[in-house]
Amino acid sequence: VDFIPNFDGEEKEPVVLPSRYPNLLVNGSSGIAVGMATNIPPHNLGEVIDGTIMLIDNPETTILELMTVIKGPDFPTGATIMGKAGIRAAYETGKGRIIVRAKAEIEEENNRHRIIVTEIPYQVNKAKLIENIADLVKDKRIVGISDLRDESDREGMR
């Protein structure tokens, strides 16, 4: 790794800080500064490694070719990404809008139905979500809900 003088010329610093894999893509990042913000979603480690190898083997790889290996963000909370246009825009320009939707199942028991939410979008606070749904029920903006509770445990979200 090449070194250059630091800000005041007193010491030397590396030109780049190499890593074995693109850690920023795998772990994601979010932050706000003066006049700018960043929000990089996490990605699947295996897909990122395969994409890295693809780029090393063929530096002329296109975004569309890369997207056959790196399908898109991989959120730890699951949920469903709606469409690929936002992902492609983010990969091509650095800016994109990714819409994520919760996953739910409907269970029927004793002629009653239950909506069981099994996955929620990344960075959605579960307690706040339940509180917001309760407020909507209280204000009668959602009708037909007789009980609302968090049954999540080690087995997963419910």
- In tens, the pLDDT along 111-132 reads 899 999 999 999 999 999 999 9
Distance of CA 123 to the CA centre of its chain: 8
CA dist 99 and 117 (Å) reads 17
Would you kindly state where each structural domain of the chain is located, as residue ranges?
Answer: 3-74
Counting Cα atoms < 13 Å in the Cβ hemisphere of 140 gives 0
- In tens, the pLDDT along 49-108 reads 999 999 999 999 999 999 999 999 999 999 999 999 999 999 999 999 999 999 999 999
With vertex at residue 109, the alpha carbon angle to CA 108 and CA 110, rounded to the nearest 5 degrees, is 130
